[in-house]
Amino acid sequence: MVDVNATLIAQILNFLVLLAILAKFAYKPLLKAMDDRRNRIINDLDSAEQTRLDAEALKEQYAEQLAGARQEATEIVNKANQIAQNLHDELVEQARVEQEALMANAKERIEQEKQQALLDIRAEVIKLSTLIAGKIVNQKLNSDKDQKLVADIADDVLNKR
């Protein structure tokens, strides 16, 4: 039952033939498919991880931008408020100054008018007084010396008033 003969050689050849055929025609495509699949899965996982990282970075960037935009908006509003306040203050100040100028002007004008009126009245008073006095003292007091005396008195009177 246990006799070694040429079957041993034949079997070695058998196996080598099977190995050669399978290695050439079967294992290469199969092992390649399995390797491809493994590589593809590794790649997919890698790229998924990469995409996740990218998304995270993008998210962070957006958050940063949003915060920046918010801050900028706050700044703009603040600035606008400041400008409005300044403008308001300026206008109020200007109005006040203008008003004061107007008032001063008006007062001056009134003062001038008043002075003018006083001068006019004085002249009139002199004229009238002179006339009245002249008429009253026509006979006695119509020389230039008299006239001067009357003017002095009139001035004295007007200034005392």
Partner 1 sequence: MEIAEASGSGIIHYLPTEVFDGVVINMQTMYMSWLTMAVVALIVFAATRKAEIIPSGVQNIVEVFIEWLNGLMEGNMGMEGRRAAAPFIITLFLYLFVGNEIGLLPQVGAHFTSPTNDINVTLGMAVTVSFTVYVLGIMRNGLGYFKHFIQPSFLFLPLNLLEEVSKPLTMALRLFGNILAGEILLIVLYMLAPWVIPDLWIGFSLIVGFLQAFIFTMLTMIAIAPVFRAHH
The site for partner 1 (CB under 8 A) is made up of 1-12, 14-19, 21-23, 25-27, 29-34, 36-37, 40
User: Any idea what the Cα angle at residue 52 is, between residues 50 and 56, rounded to 5°?
Assistant: 115
Query: Taking the complex as a whole, how short is the minimal distance between the CB of residue 56 and partner 1, in angstroms?
Result: 30
By beta-carbon proximity to partner 1, the closer residue of 37 and 70 is 37
Q: Cα torsion for 104, 106, 112, 115, to the nearest 10°?
A: -100
Q: How many CA atoms lie within 13 A of 68 on its CB side?
A: 6
Looking at this protein, which amino acid is placed at residue 123? Answer: A
What are the residue ranges of helices labelled H in 23-143?
A: 28-136
Query: Taking the complex as a whole, how short is the minimal distance between the CB of residue 48 and partner 1, in angstroms?
Result: 17
CA 47 vs. chain centroid, Å, equals: 45
By beta-carbon proximity to partner 1, the closer residue of 44 and 156 is 44
Instruction: Write out the two tokens for 5.
Output: 């003969």
By beta-carbon proximity to partner 1, the closer residue of 9 and 140 is 9
Query: Taking the complex as a whole, how short is the minimal distance between the CB of residue 19 and partner 1, in angstroms?
Result: 5
By beta-carbon proximity to partner 1, the closer residue of 19 and 157 is 19
- CB 134, CB 141: distance < 8 Å: yes
Query: Taking the complex as a whole, how short is the minimal distance between the CB of residue 8 and partner 1, in angstroms?
Result: 4
Query: Taking the complex as a whole, how short is the minimal distance between the CB of residue 42 and partner 1, in angstroms?
Result: 13
By beta-carbon proximity to partner 1, the closer residue of 17 and 110 is 17
**Burial (CB count within 10 angstroms: exposed 0-12, middle 13-18, buried 19+), residue 8:** exposed
